[in-house]
Chain A
């Protein structure tokens, strides 16, 4: 099962993303924890892109592809913002008090913790982030 959506670089588009995630989850009969994870990782990544990836005021497209195949969920987010590899963001130091932590690292940390595999590539002027998660052992609640 495959589904794709195109979002504009506007935070109001998060609502569109949420609706697409819920719809895809229902069609593929995904568990509530899987849908929650999709929402979480996409919200963190897309919010980052909208907030920091563009240096102009122009409208840009952010493409999100969802694939559910043989109990493996694959999410691919493509944007034409400035080159940015989120995997190079220094992981937050969870041992220091909250007010001393750097802002922003926690979202990427959640993404890498929740997904089995996260890959970044720079392809033809686009950031491409591919995230995979195997859900075969998940208990549906």
Chain B
């Protein structure tokens, strides 16, 4: 099960304890692939690095993985300096975006038939996400439009400065 953890702005000596508790709770509740969203995180202390690395190590033992997305380069460097980067997996921009997109698509899997492709590209500071969805041939235009609008709104809300284009096709 994929679970998302939104890391706080500062993961310092004080907040790293709460981070450890939150990550442990997600693992105890069945999370085997944890995605830690660092998009808000500006600061990480040594205890913060250790908190994520310890959870990553625990997940590795359980056959899972702790992923970190949207990490600023200086935060990623800290894991490397401490030789703890092997316990976590850093995702690049496209992979990070796809994680969110796939999560939303999975949540609404009963609204369409299949996902043909997901293409991510950048135009300036805007992220363009094209999603090619297949709908059942007996779907009405109203149902298709409702699904497109819902997914577009949710994904654009999750990913800053993004524009979602959904191309619908019938099977």
Interface residues of A (CB under 8 A from B): 11, 14, 18, 33, 36, 39-40, 43-44, 47, 51, 92, 94-95, 97-99, 106-107, 109-110, 113
Contacts and interface: CB of A to CB of B under 8 A. Distances in A.
The number of chain B residues touching the other chain, given as a range, is 20 to 34
A98 B49 CA distance: 11
Given A36-B74, A98-B57, A106-B47, 7 more contacts: A14-B14, A44-B46, A51-B13, A94-B83, A99-B54, A110-B46, A113-B81
A98 B47 CA distance: 12
A47 B12 contact: yes
A109 B46 contact: yes
Nearest to A12: B14
A97 B46 CA distance: 16
Contacts of A11: 13-14
Contacts of A110: 46, 78, 81-82
23 contacts: A11-B13, A11-B14, A14-B12, A33-B74, A36-B43, A36-B74, A40-B43, A43-B45, A47-B12, A47-B13, A51-B13, A94-B83, A95-B83, A98-B53, A98-B57, A98-B87, A106-B46, A107-B45, A107-B46, A107-B47, A110-B46, A110-B82, A113-B81
Given A36-B43, A98-B57, A99-B57, A106 B50 contact: yes
Contacts of B87: 98
Contacts of B82: 92, 94, 106, 109-110
Contacts, number: 51
B125 to A, nearest CB: 15
Nearest to B81: A113
A39 B43 contact: yes
A60 B19 CA distance: 29
B137 to A, nearest CB: 52
Interface of B: 10, 12-14, 43, 45-47, 49-50, 53-54, 57, 74, 78, 81-84, 87
A49 to B, nearest CB: 12
B54 A98 contact: yes
Contacts of A44: 45-46
Nearest to B58: A99
Contact of B57 (A92, A97, A106): A97
A98 B46 contact: no
A116 B12 CA distance: 23
Q: Which of A14, A95, A106 has the most CB of B within 10 A?
A: A106
- Pick the most buried of B12, B46, B84: most chain A CB atoms within 10 A of its CB: B46
